[in-house]
Structure 1
Amino acid sequence: MPDREDPDRPAVPRGRIAVLTVVALAVVLVCSGLGVWQWQRGNVVITEPPARQPVAPISEIVDAGGSGAASILSADEVGHRVEVAGTFDPAVDLLVPGRSLDGVVGAWALGVVVLPDGSGVPLVRGWVPEGSPAPALPTGRVDLVGVVQPPEASDVAPSTAVLPAGQTWIVSAADLVNRVDYPVANAYVTDTAPAAGLQAVPPADPGQASRRLDWRNLAYAAQWWVFALFAVVVWFRAVRDERRETGEDDLETAADGPAHGAGGRDMSGAR
């Protein structure tokens, strides 16, 4: 026969436990969401890649006449768009052979723009197919926008053979300072809008976003997740205490007792 309800059995506060569960779930969801948000903010702090930052005068990125850090192009500055204003040095009109563009071998047209402070900036004016002459250097003042690149090392050269006059294997201040009598920036710029007869040379490195860890935000994220875990622990203990106060745990234990001996006989008096 089914068990009859015990009129002396205390009522289990199901409504209170349900409320505790809903509140705990809301706290866990909110704390977890805030933790993820803080993690996304603190895991990496991303600055705009140099290629998407505002155009800056070349003198703000690399100073040919300076010394120390001002004269060296940093990793975060590679790929920065710069403005170059000055005049081309007519004595530096070079081709850099062995340079491919879209699978076609050709050469870069290289010049040096003399800035108002008297220093020079190597400028890759564009690309021409092999055997084709480059357009003449512009005369008068030029004002153009390009992408700054680090100087090339000697191992970039496809050959060590001696080149004829008017050609060079690499774009480097170390080579150009032997051709001029003024300081040359330890970097070069690729013109993004070359003159007619030249094709734009895509920069080797357009610039990457800089990243770093923000430990304070990461600590906040961990703190929110600890709060979420604490809410689970508080909920578990509150539910356990409620069940103990109503005697539900004792009743369930007592109800489970006979089940272990169901169908058996009391053999304590058997002989």
Structure 2
Amino acid sequence: MHEDRRSAPTGRVVGLTLAALLVVAVCAGLGVWQWHRGNVVVSEPPARQPVVPVSRVVDAGGTGADRILSADEVGHRVEVTGTFDPAVNLLVPGRALDGVVGSWVLGVVVLADGSGVPVVRGWVPTGQPAPDLPPGAVDLTGVVQPPESSDIAPSTSALPAGQTWIVSAADLVNRVDYAVANAYVTQTTPAAGLKAVPPADAGQATRRLDLRNLAYAGQWWVFALFAVVVWFRAVRDERRGGGQDDPDEPAPGTDEGPVNDAGGRDMSGAR
């Protein structure tokens, strides 16, 4: 009875298996790493990001009323440096704060580049006039908010001079002769006589797919699969080759009969 060499792995098969496991582990690990790098890129929520100059978030001069804020720009804390336009000191009626209806106080800060940024300076109760604008240069902080649309206005009736229903560049460009940002800033620390208006939209973190890193992840996993296929074929060929190397088995295609005690061929059955 001949020993079946395929019942136990040879040293070559063991070596091939260990090499394949190493390659698969490395490729799979690199693929997972690339997946984490490319699956999502998460930015911090705007409220947790550092205060930056308003021009880095809102570009009035470059895009004007066509500018649309992205999700990670809304709610961003910004610094606004410039001077209030003395011709724009408006009340926005019908705005509630802590359950009391009153008005927002709206101004426009003119920046160094000549463009304007609407600033909600604060809130006053109904019937109270807007406080005077601070003279000279101002340096204030606030939160960027998207412009309001006309459909949120509580009424379409005409308002007295010095009032407007919404905060929008589309309205303000009819009052000034310079570009106005299509956004507004709620002042964090208002002047005396005003209450701070909390931002309605705090913004959100952004999530973006990085297709290049995702493609790299797929590449590494294909390499791992290829290594498995190569290992399988190599082991299969090794086992097949090992089965034909048994010296006690006749080569395929021979018809030699049994050998007698004298070493010659037994011809007793030949006719």
Q: CA deviation at 1:202?
A: 1.3
1:73 to 62, 67, 70: 67
TM-score (norm 2): 0.71
Q: Structure 2: 5+ residue runs without aligned partners?
A: 245-271
**How far is 1:233 from its partner?**
1.2
Q: Which letter does structure 1 place at the counterpart of 2:103?
A: A
Partner of 2:185: 189
State the 1:135 CA deviation.
4.7
CA shift, 1:224, in A, is 0.7
Shift of 1:26: 2.8
* Residue 200 (structure 1) aligned with residue 197 (structure 2): yes
Instruction: Give the secondary-structure state (helix, strand or coil) at the position aligned to 1:202.
Output: coil
Greater Cα offset, 111-120 or 7-16: 7-16
Report the residue type matching 1:73 in the other structure: R
- Cα 1:131–1:15 shift into 2, 3 Å: farther
Aligned positions of 1:227-266 closer than 5 A: 227-247=223-243
- Partners in 2 of 1:79 and 1:116 — Cα distance? 23
Instruction: Report the TM-score when normalising by structure 1.
Output: 0.71
Partner of 1:109: 105
Deviation at 1:226, TM superposition (A): 1.0
After superposition, the Cα gap between the structure-2 partners of 1:208 and 1:128, relative to the gap in structure 1 and judged at 3 Å, is farther
Preserved CA contact (<8 Å) 1:97 1:168:
yes
Larger radius of gyration: 2
Q: 2:107 is aligned with what amino acid?
A: G
Deviation at 1:168, TM superposition (A): 1.4
1:83 aligns with 2:48: no
Deviations 1:36-66 (A, max 9, x none): 22223233445566555554433454454x3
Aligned partners of 1:135 and 1:198 also within 8 Å:
no
Query: In 2, are the aligned partners of 1:47 and 1:211 still within 8 Å (CA)?
Result: no
Instruction: Structure 1: give runs of 5+ residues left out of the alignment.
Output: 1-5, 249-271
Note the C-alpha offset of 1:229. Answer: 0.6
- Alpha-carbon displacement from aligned partner over 1:61-94 (angstroms, at most 9, x marks no partner): 4454x35x36643433444433212232344322
Q: Are 2:71 and 1:99 equivalent residues in the alignment? A: no
Residue range with higher mean Cα deviation, 156-165 or 239-248 = 239-248
Indicate conservation of the 8 Å contact 2:46/2:205, yes or no: yes
SS in 1 for 2:241: helix
Asked whether the equivalents of residues 109 and 119 of structure 2 are also in contact (C-alpha less than 8 Å), the reply is yes
Amino acid in the other structure paired with 1:139: P
Residues 1:224 and 1:59: Cα distance change in structure 2 (over 3 Å): closer
Which amino acid in 2 is paired with 1:145? T
* 1:147-166 aligned within 5 A: 147-166=143-162
Provide the secondary structure at the position in 1 that maps to 2:208: coil
CA distance 1:222–1:180, change in 2 (3 Å): closer
